[in-house]
Amino acid sequence: MQNDAPNSHRSNDAPRSATARPPSTKLEFSLALVLSGGNALGAYQAGAYEAICDHGLEPDWVAGASAGAINGAIICGNPTDQRIPALRSLWKPASDAPQTHAWPLLEKARRTAAAAWTLSTGRLDLFMPRHLLGPWWNPSGSAEPSSLYDATPLRNTVERLVDFNLLNRGTPRFSATAVDIETGDDVVFDTRMQCVEPDHLRASSALLPVFPPIDIDGRLFGDAGISSNLPLDVVLSEVSQQPLLCIAIDLLPLRAPKPNTLGDTAARMQDLIFATQSRRAIAAWQAIFDERAHRGDAASVTIMHIVYAAQSEEVSGKGFDFSSRSAGMRWQAGYVDMAKALAVLQEGKLSIGEPGLALYTRNETGPVERVRWAISPHQG
Protein backbone atom coordinates (compact mmCIF):
# COMPACT_ATOMS: atom_id res chain seq x y z
CA MET A 1 0.00 0.00 0.00
CA GLN A 2 1.43 3.34 -1.00
CA ASN A 3 1.37 6.16 1.52
CA ASP A 4 1.06 9.30 -0.59
CA ALA A 5 1.17 11.85 2.22
CA PRO A 6 3.14 12.59 5.38
CA ASN A 7 2.10 10.97 8.62
CA SER A 8 1.54 13.71 11.18
CA HIS A 9 -1.81 15.53 11.42
CA ARG A 10 -2.19 16.19 15.13
CA SER A 11 -2.19 19.50 16.97
CA ASN A 12 -0.71 19.95 20.41
CA ASP A 13 -4.07 19.27 22.09
CA ALA A 14 -4.31 15.81 20.51
CA PRO A 15 -3.85 13.29 23.32
CA ARG A 16 -1.58 10.66 21.83
CA SER A 17 1.09 10.09 19.21
CA ALA A 18 0.84 7.46 16.50
CA THR A 19 3.83 5.63 17.93
CA ALA A 20 2.08 5.26 21.29
CA ARG A 21 -1.03 3.60 19.92
CA PRO A 22 -2.44 1.23 22.57
CA PRO A 23 -3.80 -2.25 21.92
CA SER A 24 -7.53 -2.58 21.31
CA THR A 25 -9.52 -2.02 24.49
CA LYS A 26 -11.85 -4.74 25.82
CA LEU A 27 -15.28 -3.14 25.96
CA GLU A 28 -18.43 -3.97 27.89
CA PHE A 29 -20.53 -2.82 24.96
CA SER A 30 -20.62 -3.22 21.19
CA LEU A 31 -19.12 -0.40 19.15
CA ALA A 32 -20.57 0.71 15.83
CA LEU A 33 -19.12 3.42 13.59
CA VAL A 34 -21.61 5.16 11.27
CA LEU A 35 -20.19 7.44 8.56
CA SER A 36 -22.21 9.93 6.52
CA GLY A 37 -21.71 11.08 2.96
CA GLY A 38 -20.05 14.38 2.09
CA ASN A 39 -17.76 13.83 -0.89
CA ALA A 40 -14.45 15.69 -0.33
CA LEU A 41 -15.35 16.42 3.30
CA GLY A 42 -14.72 12.73 4.02
CA ALA A 43 -11.15 13.52 5.09
CA TYR A 44 -12.70 14.69 8.39
CA GLN A 45 -13.88 11.11 9.06
CA ALA A 46 -10.42 9.75 8.32
CA GLY A 47 -8.92 12.04 10.95
CA ALA A 48 -11.65 11.08 13.42
CA TYR A 49 -10.96 7.40 12.81
CA GLU A 50 -7.26 7.96 13.50
CA ALA A 51 -8.23 9.34 16.93
CA ILE A 52 -10.39 6.25 17.52
CA CYS A 53 -7.37 4.08 16.71
CA ASP A 54 -5.14 6.09 19.01
CA HIS A 55 -7.58 5.45 21.86
CA GLY A 56 -7.34 1.69 21.31
CA LEU A 57 -10.94 1.27 20.13
CA GLU A 58 -11.92 -1.24 17.44
CA PRO A 59 -15.42 -1.03 15.87
CA ASP A 60 -17.45 -4.22 15.67
CA TRP A 61 -19.50 -2.80 12.81
CA VAL A 62 -18.92 0.01 10.31
CA ALA A 63 -21.81 1.39 8.25
CA GLY A 64 -21.33 4.10 5.65
CA ALA A 65 -23.08 6.10 2.96
CA SER A 66 -21.36 7.60 -0.08
CA ALA A 67 -17.92 8.92 0.97
CA GLY A 68 -18.55 7.28 4.35
CA ALA A 69 -18.96 3.93 2.59
CA ILE A 70 -15.60 4.38 0.86
CA ASN A 71 -13.92 5.26 4.17
CA GLY A 72 -15.68 2.38 5.90
CA ALA A 73 -14.61 -0.14 3.27
CA ILE A 74 -10.99 0.99 3.60
CA ILE A 75 -11.20 0.59 7.39
CA CYS A 76 -12.76 -2.88 7.24
CA GLY A 77 -10.82 -4.01 4.18
CA ASN A 78 -7.31 -3.49 5.57
CA PRO A 79 -5.28 -4.87 8.48
CA THR A 80 -5.31 -2.44 11.40
CA ASP A 81 -1.77 -1.18 10.77
CA GLN A 82 -2.55 -0.37 7.12
CA ARG A 83 -5.86 1.47 7.55
CA ILE A 84 -4.49 4.96 8.21
CA PRO A 85 -1.93 4.76 5.36
CA ALA A 86 -4.73 3.61 3.02
CA LEU A 87 -6.96 6.49 4.10
CA ARG A 88 -4.09 8.90 3.54
CA SER A 89 -3.56 7.45 0.09
CA LEU A 90 -7.20 8.27 -0.71
CA TRP A 91 -7.41 11.78 0.77
CA LYS A 92 -3.78 12.90 0.35
CA PRO A 93 -3.86 15.36 3.28
CA ALA A 94 -1.12 17.96 3.61
CA SER A 95 0.76 17.56 6.89
CA ASP A 96 1.44 21.28 7.32
CA ALA A 97 -2.11 22.59 6.77
CA PRO A 98 -2.77 25.46 9.23
CA GLN A 99 -5.96 25.51 11.29
CA THR A 100 -6.37 29.29 11.25
CA HIS A 101 -5.60 31.95 8.65
CA ALA A 102 -4.69 35.61 8.98
CA TRP A 103 -6.48 36.32 5.70
CA PRO A 104 -9.76 34.32 5.64
CA LEU A 105 -10.85 35.86 2.33
CA LEU A 106 -7.70 34.56 0.66
CA GLU A 107 -8.34 31.12 2.11
CA LYS A 108 -11.90 31.14 0.76
CA ALA A 109 -10.56 32.20 -2.63
CA ARG A 110 -8.08 29.32 -2.58
CA ARG A 111 -10.80 26.82 -1.71
CA THR A 112 -13.13 28.20 -4.37
CA ALA A 113 -10.38 27.89 -6.97
CA ALA A 114 -9.62 24.31 -5.85
CA ALA A 115 -13.30 23.33 -6.15
CA ALA A 116 -13.58 25.01 -9.56
CA TRP A 117 -10.49 23.15 -10.77
CA THR A 118 -11.98 19.80 -9.71
CA LEU A 119 -15.32 20.63 -11.32
CA SER A 120 -13.50 21.46 -14.55
CA THR A 121 -10.98 18.63 -14.69
CA GLY A 122 -12.24 15.99 -12.23
CA ARG A 123 -9.99 13.99 -9.95
CA LEU A 124 -8.42 11.34 -12.13
CA ASP A 125 -8.42 8.55 -9.53
CA LEU A 126 -12.12 9.10 -8.72
CA PHE A 127 -14.01 10.68 -11.62
CA MET A 128 -13.53 12.43 -14.96
CA PRO A 129 -15.75 15.05 -16.64
CA ARG A 130 -17.78 13.94 -19.63
CA HIS A 131 -18.36 17.45 -20.98
CA LEU A 132 -14.95 18.24 -22.47
CA LEU A 133 -16.07 17.28 -25.98
CA GLY A 134 -19.81 17.58 -25.48
CA PRO A 135 -22.33 14.88 -24.47
CA TRP A 136 -20.56 12.27 -26.63
CA TRP A 137 -17.37 12.41 -24.56
CA ASN A 138 -16.94 9.05 -22.87
CA PRO A 139 -13.23 8.50 -22.13
CA SER A 140 -13.57 5.09 -20.51
CA GLY A 141 -16.10 3.69 -23.00
CA SER A 142 -18.62 3.32 -20.17
CA ALA A 143 -22.17 2.24 -21.06
CA GLU A 144 -23.56 3.78 -17.88
CA PRO A 145 -26.45 6.28 -18.00
CA SER A 146 -25.83 9.96 -18.66
CA SER A 147 -24.14 12.04 -15.97
CA LEU A 148 -21.81 14.99 -15.66
CA TYR A 149 -18.86 12.81 -14.66
CA ASP A 150 -17.62 9.33 -15.41
CA ALA A 151 -16.96 7.59 -12.08
CA THR A 152 -15.34 4.48 -13.55
CA PRO A 153 -11.91 5.44 -12.08
CA LEU A 154 -13.36 4.99 -8.59
CA ARG A 155 -13.56 1.25 -9.21
CA ASN A 156 -9.81 1.02 -9.81
CA THR A 157 -9.10 3.14 -6.74
CA VAL A 158 -11.17 1.05 -4.33
CA GLU A 159 -9.72 -2.14 -5.79
CA ARG A 160 -6.26 -0.73 -5.00
CA LEU A 161 -7.09 0.46 -1.48
CA VAL A 162 -9.46 -2.28 -0.26
CA ASP A 163 -8.73 -5.99 0.19
CA PHE A 164 -12.19 -7.29 -0.68
CA ASN A 165 -11.39 -10.80 0.56
CA LEU A 166 -10.59 -9.34 3.97
CA LEU A 167 -13.59 -7.00 3.81
CA ASN A 168 -15.99 -9.86 3.20
CA ARG A 169 -14.74 -11.87 6.15
CA GLY A 170 -16.89 -9.46 8.14
CA THR A 171 -14.47 -8.57 10.93
CA PRO A 172 -15.41 -5.79 11.43
CA ARG A 173 -18.82 -6.16 9.84
CA PHE A 174 -19.33 -3.68 7.02
CA SER A 175 -22.51 -2.18 5.53
CA ALA A 176 -22.88 0.28 2.65
CA THR A 177 -26.21 1.89 1.83
CA ALA A 178 -27.74 3.04 -1.44
CA VAL A 179 -31.10 3.91 -3.01
CA ASP A 180 -32.92 1.92 -5.69
CA ILE A 181 -33.41 4.55 -8.40
CA GLU A 182 -36.60 2.99 -9.79
CA THR A 183 -38.45 2.03 -6.59
CA GLY A 184 -37.00 4.55 -4.14
CA ASP A 185 -36.25 1.78 -1.65
CA ASP A 186 -33.37 2.15 0.78
CA VAL A 187 -30.95 -0.73 0.22
CA VAL A 188 -28.05 -2.07 2.28
CA PHE A 189 -25.09 -4.12 1.08
CA ASP A 190 -23.91 -6.01 4.16
CA THR A 191 -20.95 -8.37 4.48
CA ARG A 192 -23.01 -10.51 6.88
CA MET A 193 -25.58 -11.11 4.14
CA GLN A 194 -23.67 -10.94 0.84
CA CYS A 195 -20.34 -10.42 -0.85
CA VAL A 196 -19.65 -6.67 -1.14
CA GLU A 197 -17.82 -5.68 -4.32
CA PRO A 198 -16.41 -2.44 -5.80
CA ASP A 199 -19.63 -1.59 -7.65
CA HIS A 200 -21.56 -1.65 -4.36
CA LEU A 201 -19.29 1.17 -3.15
CA ARG A 202 -19.73 3.04 -6.43
CA ALA A 203 -23.51 2.66 -6.09
CA SER A 204 -23.45 4.12 -2.58
CA SER A 205 -21.60 7.21 -3.86
CA ALA A 206 -23.44 7.72 -7.18
CA LEU A 207 -25.02 11.13 -6.54
CA LEU A 208 -27.35 11.94 -9.44
CA PRO A 209 -26.89 13.57 -11.91
CA VAL A 210 -23.25 14.30 -11.03
CA PHE A 211 -22.35 10.60 -11.22
CA PRO A 212 -24.23 7.84 -13.05
CA PRO A 213 -26.40 5.30 -11.23
CA ILE A 214 -24.79 1.87 -10.99
CA ASP A 215 -26.41 -1.24 -12.45
CA ILE A 216 -26.08 -4.28 -10.17
CA ASP A 217 -27.95 -7.41 -11.26
CA GLY A 218 -30.38 -5.39 -13.34
CA ARG A 219 -31.20 -2.80 -10.65
CA LEU A 220 -30.04 0.82 -10.77
CA PHE A 221 -28.66 2.24 -7.52
CA GLY A 222 -27.72 5.77 -6.51
CA ASP A 223 -26.13 7.67 -3.64
CA ALA A 224 -27.57 6.87 -0.22
CA GLY A 225 -27.55 10.58 0.64
CA ILE A 226 -30.57 11.05 -1.62
CA SER A 227 -32.59 9.36 1.12
CA SER A 228 -30.54 8.94 4.30
CA ASN A 229 -27.10 10.51 4.41
CA LEU A 230 -26.25 9.17 7.88
CA PRO A 231 -27.16 5.45 7.77
CA LEU A 232 -28.16 4.99 11.39
CA ASP A 233 -31.24 2.96 10.42
CA VAL A 234 -29.01 0.05 9.37
CA VAL A 235 -27.50 -0.27 12.84
CA LEU A 236 -30.41 0.77 15.06
CA SER A 237 -32.95 -1.50 13.35
CA GLU A 238 -31.03 -4.60 14.44
CA VAL A 239 -31.95 -5.74 17.94
CA SER A 240 -28.97 -6.35 20.23
CA GLN A 241 -28.87 -7.84 23.72
CA GLN A 242 -25.63 -6.03 24.51
CA PRO A 243 -25.41 -2.26 25.11
CA LEU A 244 -24.38 -0.43 21.97
CA LEU A 245 -22.24 2.68 21.59
CA CYS A 246 -22.75 4.15 18.13
CA ILE A 247 -20.22 6.79 17.03
CA ALA A 248 -21.95 8.65 14.20
CA ILE A 249 -19.77 11.05 12.20
CA ASP A 250 -21.78 13.61 10.22
CA LEU A 251 -20.04 15.80 7.65
CA LEU A 252 -22.73 18.47 7.25
CA PRO A 253 -23.79 20.62 10.23
CA LEU A 254 -27.35 21.19 11.35
CA ARG A 255 -26.47 24.52 12.98
CA ALA A 256 -24.50 27.38 11.45
CA PRO A 257 -24.37 31.19 11.55
CA LYS A 258 -26.68 33.24 9.37
CA PRO A 259 -25.42 33.33 5.76
CA ASN A 260 -24.08 36.67 4.53
CA THR A 261 -23.29 36.00 0.88
CA LEU A 262 -24.80 34.03 -1.99
CA GLY A 263 -22.07 31.44 -1.52
CA ASP A 264 -22.91 31.15 2.18
CA THR A 265 -26.57 30.64 1.31
CA ALA A 266 -25.76 27.92 -1.24
CA ALA A 267 -23.54 26.13 1.27
CA ARG A 268 -26.21 26.37 3.95
CA MET A 269 -28.78 24.89 1.57
CA GLN A 270 -26.51 21.89 1.02
CA ASP A 271 -26.01 21.44 4.77
CA LEU A 272 -29.70 21.54 5.61
CA ILE A 273 -30.77 19.11 2.88
CA PHE A 274 -28.63 16.40 4.46
CA ALA A 275 -28.34 17.43 8.14
CA THR A 276 -32.11 17.59 8.66
CA GLN A 277 -32.29 13.95 7.52
CA SER A 278 -30.06 13.02 10.45
CA ARG A 279 -32.09 15.08 12.92
CA ARG A 280 -35.40 13.52 11.87
CA ALA A 281 -33.97 10.00 11.88
CA ILE A 282 -32.47 10.35 15.36
CA ALA A 283 -35.66 11.93 16.74
CA ALA A 284 -37.72 9.05 15.36
CA TRP A 285 -35.40 6.46 16.86
CA GLN A 286 -35.50 8.20 20.24
CA ALA A 287 -39.31 7.91 20.17
CA ILE A 288 -39.11 4.25 19.15
CA PHE A 289 -36.71 3.41 21.97
CA ASP A 290 -38.87 5.36 24.44
CA GLU A 291 -41.82 3.15 23.54
CA ARG A 292 -39.73 0.01 23.81
CA ALA A 293 -38.44 1.03 27.26
CA HIS A 294 -42.04 1.77 28.33
CA ARG A 295 -42.93 -1.82 27.41
CA GLY A 296 -40.03 -3.13 29.52
CA ASP A 297 -37.52 -3.64 26.71
CA ALA A 298 -34.02 -3.23 28.17
CA ALA A 299 -32.29 -2.53 24.84
CA SER A 300 -29.67 0.20 25.31
CA VAL A 301 -28.11 2.45 22.66
CA THR A 302 -25.87 5.47 23.16
CA ILE A 303 -25.20 7.66 20.13
CA MET A 304 -22.14 9.90 20.16
CA HIS A 305 -22.96 12.30 17.31
CA ILE A 306 -19.77 13.95 16.02
CA VAL A 307 -20.38 16.73 13.48
CA TYR A 308 -17.92 18.57 11.28
CA ALA A 309 -19.18 21.91 12.57
CA ALA A 310 -16.19 24.26 12.22
CA GLN A 311 -16.83 25.11 8.58
CA SER A 312 -16.45 28.90 8.61
CA GLU A 313 -13.73 28.70 5.94
CA GLU A 314 -15.50 26.16 3.74
CA VAL A 315 -17.11 27.38 0.50
CA SER A 316 -20.26 26.45 -1.40
CA GLY A 317 -18.27 24.05 -3.59
CA LYS A 318 -16.67 22.35 -0.57
CA GLY A 319 -17.73 18.90 -1.69
CA PHE A 320 -15.41 19.24 -4.69
CA ASP A 321 -12.44 20.84 -2.94
CA PHE A 322 -10.07 17.86 -2.93
CA SER A 323 -6.95 19.98 -2.42
CA SER A 324 -4.33 18.50 -0.08
CA ARG A 325 -4.35 21.63 2.07
CA SER A 326 -8.11 21.44 2.67
CA ALA A 327 -7.94 17.68 3.23
CA GLY A 328 -5.22 18.21 5.85
CA MET A 329 -7.30 20.80 7.69
CA ARG A 330 -10.36 18.54 7.68
CA TRP A 331 -8.31 15.54 8.82
CA GLN A 332 -6.90 17.54 11.73
CA ALA A 333 -10.34 18.88 12.68
CA GLY A 334 -11.75 15.35 12.73
CA TYR A 335 -8.90 14.10 14.89
CA VAL A 336 -9.25 16.90 17.45
CA ASP A 337 -13.06 16.70 17.64
CA MET A 338 -13.05 12.94 18.10
CA ALA A 339 -10.24 13.04 20.68
CA LYS A 340 -12.23 15.52 22.77
CA ALA A 341 -15.36 13.38 22.57
CA LEU A 342 -13.49 10.20 23.50
CA ALA A 343 -11.99 11.96 26.51
CA VAL A 344 -15.56 12.41 27.78
CA LEU A 345 -16.16 8.69 27.21
CA GLN A 346 -13.00 7.76 29.11
CA GLU A 347 -14.04 10.00 32.00
CA GLY A 348 -17.25 7.96 32.33
CA LYS A 349 -19.53 10.92 31.56
CA LEU A 350 -21.57 9.08 28.91
CA SER A 351 -24.52 6.97 29.96
CA ILE A 352 -24.04 3.51 28.46
CA GLY A 353 -26.24 0.57 29.41
CA GLU A 354 -29.45 2.21 30.58
CA PRO A 355 -32.64 1.24 28.68
CA GLY A 356 -33.53 3.46 25.74
CA LEU A 357 -31.55 5.69 23.40
CA ALA A 358 -29.24 8.37 24.78
CA LEU A 359 -27.93 11.00 22.35
CA TYR A 360 -24.77 13.02 23.00
CA THR A 361 -23.48 15.74 20.71
CA ARG A 362 -21.48 18.96 20.84
CA ASN A 363 -21.46 22.24 18.98
CA GLU A 364 -18.36 23.80 17.48
CA THR A 365 -16.88 25.07 20.76
CA GLY A 366 -19.06 23.67 23.53
CA PRO A 367 -18.84 20.49 25.62
CA VAL A 368 -20.37 17.14 24.77
CA GLU A 369 -23.96 17.27 26.03
CA ARG A 370 -26.90 14.91 26.23
CA VAL A 371 -29.69 16.21 24.01
CA ARG A 372 -33.12 15.26 22.75
CA TRP A 373 -34.64 16.12 19.40
CA ALA A 374 -38.39 16.41 18.90
CA ILE A 375 -40.24 14.73 16.06
CA SER A 376 -42.87 17.46 15.81
CA PRO A 377 -41.95 20.85 14.28
CA HIS A 378 -41.17 23.78 16.54
CA GLN A 379 -43.74 26.54 16.75
CA GLY A 380 -42.74 29.62 14.76
Do 342 and 55 contact (CB within 8 A), yes or no?
yes
Per-residue pLDDT, averaged over 122-131, amounts to 85
Q: Average pLDDT, stretch 76-103? A: 87
How distant, in Å, are the alpha carbons of 15, 74, 76, 312 from that of 80?
A: 20, 10, 9, 33
- Are the CB atoms for 87 and 62 separated by under 8 Å? no
Helix (H, G, I), strand (E, B) or coil at 204: helix
**Residues listed for the chain:** 380
Closest listed residue to residue 100, CA positions, set 365, 327, 347, 312: 312
With a cut of 70, say whether residue 159 has pLDDT above it. Answer: yes
pLDDT of 235 > 90? The answer is: yes
Mean pLDDT of 53-81: 97
Count helices and strands (H / E) in the chain.
10, 12
What gap in Å lies between CA 58 and CA 49, rounded to an integer?
10
Whether the CB-CB separation of 370 and 380 falls below 8 Å is answered with no
Which pTM does this prediction carry?
0.88
Average pLDDT value for the chain: 87
**What phi, psi does 134 have (nearest 5°)?**
90, -175
From 66-80, 94-108, 266-280, 322-336, the region with the lowest mean pLDDT:
94-108
For 255-271, how does the pLDDT look when each residue is reduced to its tens digit (9 = 90+)? 888 988 898 898 899 88
